[in-house]
Amino acid sequence: MNHSTTASLAIASLLSLGIATDANAAKDKKEKCYGVALAGQNDCGNLAGTHSCAGQSTVDNDIGEWKLVPKGTCTEVGGYSRKAAKKMYKSLKAQGKGMKEQAKSAMSMK
């Protein structure tokens, strides 16, 4: 390996480390916020386990769906932590409420 190839590899490695660090830092500044995602705008799987992909929610503000928000702002935007959402979801499910009714009940509890 010649000197210029080694130098290029070293620079590429340093640049990729910086990108990975920035991505992790951005992720660390966000948190999952349940009950604030609009239909089709959730970030990943739901509490019910009925899907595991982003963009598959069917109801606005479903308590089982989440969206990433800046850390510390979830309650400000009317959302819930995973623990609180899971508790509420189980309670609403025990009452036999469907997803639309769950979303309405969750909104009225705010």
Structure confidence by residue, pLDDT tens digits, 7-22 = 555 555 544 555 544 4
90 against 32, higher pLDDT: 32
The model's pTM is 0.64
Q: Give the sign of the dihedral formed by CA 32, CA 35, CA 41, CA 46.
A: positive
The number of domains in the chain is 1
Domain with 98, as residue range(s), is 30-109
* Distance in angstroms (rounded) separating the CA atoms of residues 64 and 86: 7
Residue 3 CA to chain centroid, in angstroms? 45
The answer as to whether 6 is a domain residue is no
The answer as to whether 23 is a domain residue is no
Residue 26 has pLDDT above 60, yes or no: no
The answer as to whether 51 is a domain residue is yes
The answer as to whether 42 is a domain residue is yes
Looking at the DSSP bridge assignments, the partners of residue 68 are: 32
pLDDT confidence of 97, banded at 50, 70, 90?
Answer: low
